[in-house]
A and B are shown apart, each in its own frame.
Chain A
Amino acid sequence: MSRMSLAKIGLAAGLTAAAATTAIAQDFPNEPVTLTVPFSPGGSNDIVARQLGLQLSEQWGQPVVVENRPGGGATIGSAHLAQQDPDGYNIMIASVTFTMNAAVRDDLPFDPRADFTPIALIGQVPLVIGAKPDIEATEPEAFFDYIRSNDDLSYGATGVGSIQHFAGELLNQAVGSNVQVVQYPGGGPAMTDVMGGFIEYSIGSMTQMLPQVEAGNITPIAITSLERSDAMPDTPTLAESGLDDFEVIQWWAILGPAGMDEARVEELNSAINEVLETEQFAEFLANDGGTPRPMSAQETADFMAMNFDRWVEVAEQAGMKDQAE
């Protein structure tokens, strides 16, 4: 509780500071910009943030400092950003889990909808249903039958309310199956148990699945975006395999603290979109099966709002929060 109010005070202080400096200099940015990553170095958020930061700093001629503030399942870094000046010099990378966390946790020290300004969407990467190497049902329809008709199966996810967990429960709902979720501390350990045949499948990011699929360690069943991916053109989508509209994607966005000046948001949005349009950035994402997805600031805000609503609904249907009580 006290932390909550502290965050609010910090936010209020930030707002007044912003009001005091309404005369924003024309040449933004004229000092280093801090890009907060609420995770440890080396993860997908960190890597995307660093590539974006690198290209933004080239464009601006100003350093972009990537600052890792891990901990508390991204709450520490996010709470930190919410308390910064909304002057455009403090931005943060957030992923789809930012909107999922809001649906399963009620101990967040900030309001994920109200305390942030959506600035831009970066890109997206589909998830892959990666099954154990010796699975017999390799076609989606046969696979659905298999998981529907066996009640002693398990799938791996990376924690309550993780994207893998949401995707898994959505699949259970869509197929009418009852596969047991087993949680792992990360995508890597979950995949090793799939490779070892201890669990049936895990629905992981294409980034992590791709090398294992290429090596034959994991059998790809389907991907979770609406369209096929260039990185795995032979793997069907769930939507085309009878599960209409099934879509769960990993995406990254750039957020600022609440109360940002609209013009500043536009400046940042167009700078980021300029990076997204470069060949270099597209190639960088394509390496792992991802694609840039430029959006205006308003579209980003709508997209995030839609995500917030959707995950609350899924979490309720699957009783994901009940598990936590």
Chain B
Amino acid sequence: MDIWANIASGFDVAFSSQNLMYCFLGVFLGTFFGALPGIGSLAAVSMLLPITFYLDPTTALVMLGGVYYGAEYGGSTSSILLNLPGTPSNAVTCLDGYPMTQQGRSGVALFATTIASFFGGTFGILMLYSLAPLIVQWALQFGPAEYFAIMVFGLVAAATVTQDAPAKGLAMVVAGMMLGTIGADLNTGIARFTFGYFELHEGISFIALAMGLFGVSEVILSIGHKIDKPFIQAVTFRSMIPRRDEVRRSGMPMLRGAGLGAFFGALPGTGPSIATFIGYAIEKRLSRHPEEFGKGAIEGIMSPESANNAAVQSAFIPTMTLGIPGSATMAVMMGALLIHGIQPGPQLMQENPDIFWGLAASFWIGNVMLLVLNIPLIGVWVRLLKIPYGILYPAVLCFICIGVYTVRTSAFDVVLVLLFGFAGFVLRLLRFELAPLLIGFILGPMVEENFKRAMLIYRGDFTEFLTRPISGSLLALTALLLVWTTWVILRDSRRKRPVDHPMGEADD
């Protein structure tokens, strides 16, 4: 069949010594930058873009692509070991990854997330290979009303990331949505809540918000606090093997995470962070041990890590088949092709098949490299914990500032990240959870924007949301989810009250 010939020729391109070398360089730098808290794929790709002008276009994208997905592998490392997300899409991994480190099981967590990352990445590449044209046709069915419905679904689903105080979680979601309104309004051009700062015209930098709340606040928490150093185990290969029940509990979350990731990755404008949050929320919903979440549940790291890796791979689908980049990082990578006079778009597969198939093949090779690279590295990473915090944390702070600055070359954002750090510190002292705030921040503006757009197009007719098949069914699903959640809360509270068991540990 034709497709096999294409795949074979793709591997031919990918296996050229030059492409292999740059692929390795890319994934190596990606893992490295990803593991440095604060420097995510956008910063890393932007920094490396100028180098690629001197490379052959395929090689350029092989390398930048490697950096992009490599960062997702590396990003979980600092989430798990230090409670500092390497990139924003690894923020959820902190919730259960760090508790595992505190229990002396960091080796297991790192090993498991490497597997999940590889699984998710492979899943995303398979989608890219087999269904790219189909997925694009289907993604085009998503208009403003459909985007609105799916974002509302995401908000409702994600509202349950909160552990035990729903009101506090809700407050954080709302706070996030309010922060999201800052910036010039698209429809009127009016600057909202910018207080005269032009730096706020395009809104608060997501990276500054995420790294401030999760990263800087962690550093501040450590000041004057004698953090109990997590027990550092000798990392033998044996100690990395998860318990048998954990292996059993990992399969489905990994698969669901990959599916969600591939879905959101392919939908322009969404992306890996949304996929991880929703994936986490869904796992918590479906789990028979929801009380374990936040205390080191393996599902809580498998799903998001599988999701973000699937998402970064499937994010290439709209970029390469439509020529429409789904995220800022993708836009930078598209620029790398454009500078060589190659217009990514519907013609790419016909006019430059070597680029399309070569890239897809190289991505998978890169994922294998990452797998091989990351497992031996686990021992090295874990030993990082031995670095005295007095040295490690100032260094972390520097990396965060560099990463935040690079994304928009804005010193203003560096001040913002520090402000958000203090805000995060205070919120954590008050036992507010920060993940819902990020979700509100990402989804809130998308809800608003798509709602307004739909209302303009349909001239204010609300029934369009319900009568359009995709948005109608999504909203129905959301309603079901709401009813179910309410029912579960009522049931639990009724059960809990007579027993008067504050922890609500209902072990059956």
- The one of A189, A198, A215 in contact with B268, judged by C-beta atoms closer than 8 angstroms, is A189
* Interface size grouping (class) on chain B: 35 or more
In angstroms, Cα B393 to Cα A301, docked, is: 53
- Give chain B residues whose Cβ lies under 8 Å from the Cβ of A161: 189
Interface hits, B311-366 → A, CB 8 Å: 322-325, 328, 331-336, 338-339, 341, 343-347
Chain A, 182-197, contact with B by CB distance < 8 Å: what is the 0/1 string? 1111001101110110
Do residues A42 and B331 form an inter-chain contact, with CB atoms below 8 A? Answer: yes
B141 within 8 Å of A (CB atoms): yes
Taking the closest CB of chain A, its distance from the CB of B463, in whole angstroms, is: 15
In angstroms, Cα B323 to Cα A188, docked, is: 8
Do residues B409 and A68 form an inter-chain contact, with CB atoms below 8 A? Answer: yes
- Give chain A residues whose Cβ lies under 8 Å from the Cβ of B189: 104-105, 159-161, 323-324
Q: Which A residue sits closest to B200, measured CB to CB?
A: A72
Q: Which B residue sits closest to A108, measured CB to CB?
A: B198
- The one of A79, A185, A198, A207 in contact with B144, judged by C-beta atoms closer than 8 angstroms, is A198
Give the dominant DSSP class at B's interface.
loop
* B14-22, B72-80, B276-284, B451-459 - the one binding chain A: B451-459
Do residues B268 and A73 form an inter-chain contact, with CB atoms below 8 A? Answer: no
Q: Given A72-B201, A75-B201, A185-B186, decide whether A215 and B347 contact each other with a Cβ distance below 8 A.
A: yes
* A44-52, A221-229, A253-261 - the one binding chain B: A44-52
B126 within 8 Å of A (CB atoms): no
Do residues A284 and B341 form an inter-chain contact, with CB atoms below 8 A? Answer: yes
Q: Given A41-B332, A70-B408, A73-B201, decide whether A3 and B196 contact each other with a Cβ distance below 8 A.
A: yes
Do residues A73 and B347 form an inter-chain contact, with CB atoms below 8 A? Answer: no
- Give chain B residues whose Cβ lies under 8 Å from the Cβ of A184: 186, 453
Do residues A46 and B335 form an inter-chain contact, with CB atoms below 8 A? Answer: yes
A31 within 8 Å of B (CB atoms): no
19 A–B pairs (Cβ distance < 8 Å), ordered by A: A47-B339, A71-B202, A76-B410, A159-B186, A180-B459, A185-B269, A188-B324, A191-B324, A192-B140, A192-B268, A192-B322, A196-B141, A199-B457, A210-B343, A212-B322, A212-B345, A212-B346, A214-B347, A323-B187
List 15 additional contacts besides A42-B334, A46-B335, A50-B339; criterion CB under 8 Å: A42-B332, A70-B408, A71-B198, A76-B198, A160-B187, A183-B186, A185-B186, A188-B324, A192-B268, A193-B143, A210-B343, A211-B344, A217-B346, A284-B341, A323-B188
Residues of chain A at the chain B interface (Cβ within 8 Å):
3, 40-43, 46-47, 50-51, 54, 67-73, 75-76, 79, 104-105, 107, 109, 152, 154, 159-161, 180, 182-185, 188-189, 191-193, 195-196, 198-199, 207-208, 210-212, 214-215, 217, 284, 287-288, 323-324
